[in-house]
Amino acid sequence: MTTRRELANAVRALAMDAVEAAKSGHPGMPMGMADLAEVLWNDFLRHNPANPKWFNRDRFVLSNGHGSMLQYALLHLTGYDLPMDELKHFRQLHSKTAGHPEASETPGVETTTGPLGQGLANAVGFALAEKVLAAHFNRPGHEIVDHRTFVFLGDGCLMEGISHEVASLAGTWGLGKLVAVYDDNGISIDGEVHGWFTDDTPKRFEAYGWNVIRHIDGHNADDIKRAIEQAVAQSDKPTLICAKTIIGFGAPHKQGKEESHGAPLGKDEIAAAREQLGWSYAPFEIPADIYTGWDHKAAGAEREEVWNAAFDAYAAAHPELAAEFKRRLAGQLPADWAEKSNAYVAKLQAEGPEVATRKASQMALDAFGPLLPELIGGSADLAGSNLTKWKGSLDAGNGNSADGKGNYVYYGVREFGMTAIANGLALHGGFIPYDATFLVFSDYARNAVRMSALIPAHAIHVYTHDSIGLGEDGPTHQPVEHLASLRYITNNQLWRPCDAVESAVSWKMAIERKGAPSCLVFSRQNLKHQQRSEQQVAQIARGGYVLSDPQDTKFKAILIATGSEVELAMEAARTLAQQDIAVRVVSMPCTELFDEQPLEYREGVLPGWCRARVAVEAATADFWRKYVGLDGEVVGMTTFGASAPANQLFEHFGFTVAHVVDAVKRTIR
């Protein structure tokens, strides 16, 4: 009979062999956590290899993603569509076995991990999503939302600050279906961690409100099983299992040492490990009885069939809820979304409110929120400034909504954790999450925004107080380089609207943008309403459009602006017209979307024959060079801001009609 250790050794062998074949990778963690993984995956994890997206599966997250061969070996052995050839091509071009797990590339991988700690944060998002979705849809006798989130993590995850942010929230929210397994091997790339990591991790997590299971032998299957049984019996607290392991377990000369962490073991050490482990098979050879011991295809199919039958009974008892559940999981917007959202935009254009775009954002939430029960959002302790709460907001964690049927998350001052949790909410399914802070603090969250785009995840990142217009708080709080920084993230769309209408359209576009993130950037100060035709309103959704053209004459220059600077560009255009200089004004709230438009459209907005161009934005000037060219100019920021009232700052830094007019005149030759 195949033993547990033999099943685990298959994982160790595949990890050794794949890393050796690639001449690159991390064999130590997979070898050290193989026994933990074997017990979890064979005895507890509810999943279906034939359908990796079966809704009620347990979620497994590898936060210490450098040990990706652990997950690839598990997926291969349990029957996912990850054939041996993919493992043989570990870390190679076009393989499904990238250096770190990627959700978009590998069936069975729930989220893209690698930047340490973010997998734990995503897992908190998964667990929060499960809790809130269950409150929304479960009914007595019909618990159709009932699954757990398991996450493996290591010393590096716990050293990263994001782990403190999200572990604190998980404890506060009482996420009883979250189980984290800590690979306490005492080794990182620089060696033994006791020289720089002396935290009392169990006490730390107990202080967060977690259930902590200490002193687990990570190589003793009975010990591991008892710990996981304890964890899943806990209903009102997340659980941390502290498992002591030996990194590189089975490699006689390198186990327990940093040499096994991030480099191939080498042929001699692999041969010695095979002998020590009693694994006599050739590289990438797995005997039939080992495959049989790992096979979860039949069990997975049965689990899904049982759930499908339970859902059919639920649908019979609660047909409207079942239809809504299916709609949300499919990522489909409500049938009346397009009609009602377009009507709201048209209403705003007709009414012409002059408000700060952060207020316009809240107005959009008030209009769109009742249409979208899947919308869940929150702010990093700035709800009153970001204006992210709308009339239908209810606490989704603890507090106002005792039944858990909330849609608003109080994240506290945790920008990084908040953003990565939002990614988890998006990936889980059933929600469109948004998060919010000041634009300047997007720096704290930027790597999680990058992961939103890389995964990709349908998360909406809201940033207010978008420029030196913030005013008296000074340069520490005035974003300068942040717009460009976020625009440079591939697959991210950043919107900086100029008034309430563009603000509503930016929300609408972000909501409709499936499978990828958006950043919505709003002003603190009131902005003027801009007059538009119906055609111009429609063209906002193309990222950039002609807002104003001279009448009965050909324009000599083009002014391009975003956000609060659009009204400045319009005033400059009127002044220039009085001097018989005709200019076109282009509002470009989303440069990324404009760049995706057909050449014919872009040429129609920014014709190549007009090289006299001036871009105006109260942010880093250099970004706009690609639009204005060598002959154009940019009225932008080349320094940090200063502490003063906003109107004084705009004048001090050259955001005046006179300065813009002079810039246009210099470009006309």
Can you give the three-state secondary structure of 264-281, one letter per residue?
CCCHHHHHHHHHHHCCCC
Q: Are residues 458 and 557 in the same domain?
A: no
Task: Please say whether the beta carbons of 393 and 409 come within 8 A.
Answer: no
Cα(544)–Cα(588) distance, integer angstroms: 4
3-class secondary-structure state, position 594: helix
CATH number for position 606: 3.40.50.920
Q: Is there a domain that residue 565 lies in? A: yes
User: Residue 530 domain-assigned?
Assistant: no
Q: Which domain holds residue 79?
A: 4-301
Cβ-in-10-Å burial (0-12, 13-18, 19+) of 639 comes to: exposed
Q: Which tokens in the block code for residue 327?
A: 């709609």
- Would you call 534 a catalytic residue per the annotation? no
Q: Is 99 annotated as a binding residue?
A: no
Same domain, 509 and 545: no
Nearest to 467 by CA among 447, 439, 443: 439
The DSSP 8-state label assigned to residue 324 in this structure reads H
Residue 155 annotated as binding?
yes
| Three-state SS at 187 | strand
346 and 487 fall within a common domain: yes
187 marked as binding residue: yes
Of 459, 494, 522, which one is at a domain's C-terminal end? 522
592 neighbors 627 (Cβ within 8 angstroms): no
Measure Cα distances from 115 to 12, 104, 153, 424 in Å. 23, 16, 12, 15
d(CA 168, CA 112): 22
Residue 173: closest CA among 124, 120, 231: 124
> What separation, in Å, do the N-terminal and C-terminal C-alpha atoms of the chain show?
87
SS3 83: coil
- Report the relative pairing of strands 191-192 and 187-188 from DSSP bridges: antiparallel
Is residue 115 annotated as involved in ligand binding? yes
Does residue 506 share a domain with residue 566? no
Does residue 394 lie within any of the structural domains? yes
Say which of 110, 374, 415, 567 is annotated catalytic.
415
358 known ligand binder: yes
Q: Is 28 annotated as a binding residue?
A: no
Mean pLDDT in consecutive groups of 10 residues from the start of the chain, 669 residues: 96 98 98 98 98 98 98 98 98 98 98 98 98 96 98 98 98 97 96 95 98 98 98 95 98 97 97 98 98 97 98 98 98 98 98 98 98 98 97 76 75 98 98 98 98 98 97 96 98 98 98 96 97 98 98 94 98 97 98 98 98 98 96 97 96 98 95
Question: Which are the contacts of 593, defined by CB distance < 8 A and separation ≥ 6?
Answer: 493, 509, 541, 542, 543, 544
Secondary structure, 3-state, 423-481: HHHHHHCCCEEEEEEEHHHHHHHHHHHHHHHHCCCCCEEEEECCCHHHCCCCCCCCCCC
Q: What is the pLDDT of residue 398?
A: 60
Question: Distance (Å, rounded) from C-alpha 65 to C-alpha 68?
Answer: 5
DSSP per position, 205-270: HHHHT-EEEEEEETT-HHHHHHHHHHHHH--SS-EEEEEE--TTTT-TTTTTSGGGTSS---HHHH
Contact by Cβ (8 Å): 20, 265: yes
Same domain, 272 and 396: no
**Is 89 flagged in the annotation as binding?**
no
> Is 217 marked as binding a ligand?
no
Residue 259 lies in a domain: yes
344 and 480, same domain (yes or no): yes
Q: 317 lies in a domain?
A: no
Instruction: Give the domain-ending residue among 495, 522, 549.
Output: 522
Q: Is 473 within any annotated ligand binding site?
A: yes
- Give kind and range of the element (H or E) at residue 547: strand 545-548
Our count of domains for the chain comes to: 3
Q: Establish if 92 belongs to a structural domain.
A: yes
Q: What is the pLDDT of residue 669?
A: 79
Token pair in block for residue 603: 């040429």
- Tell me how many degrees the CA angle 550-553-555 measures, rounded to the nearest 5: 60
* Same-domain check for residues 107 and 162: yes
Q: Does residue 571 lie in a domain region?
A: yes
Same domain, 295 and 357: no
Tell whether 26 is in a known binding site. Answer: yes
Q: Which residues pair with 436 in a beta bridge?
A: 462
Question: For residue 401, what pLDDT is reported?
Answer: 40
Asked if 294 and 207 sit in the same domain, the reply is yes
Same domain as 343, residue 282: no
Q: Are 646 and 468 in contact (CB under 8 A)?
A: yes
Do the bridges between strand 545-548 and strand 493-495 make them parallel or antiparallel, or are there none, so unpaired?
unpaired
Task: Note whether 123 and 62 are within 8 A (CB).
Answer: no
**How many CA atoms lie less than 13 Å away from 446 in the CB half-sphere?**
16
Q: Which residues contact 76 (CB under 8 A, 6 or more apart)?
A: 14, 82, 83, 84, 86, 87
Domain harbouring 368, CATH code: 3.40.50.970
> 432-438 and 375-379: which strand pairing?
parallel
Give SS3 for 43. Answer: helix
Peptide bond into 456 cis (omega under 30): yes
Confirm whether 326 is domain-assigned. Answer: no
Residue type, 243: A
Reported as a single tens digit per residue, the pLDDT across 372-414 is 999 999 999 999 999 999 999 998 876 434 455 799 999 999 9
* Final residue in a domain of this structure, among 280, 301, 322: 301
- Note whether 455 and 590 are same-domain residues: no
Tokens standing for residue 311: 């859902």
Q: State how far Cα 647 lies from the chain centre.
A: 36
548 shares its domain with 483? no
Go through the chain and tell me how many residues it has.
669
Is residue 100 marked as binding? no
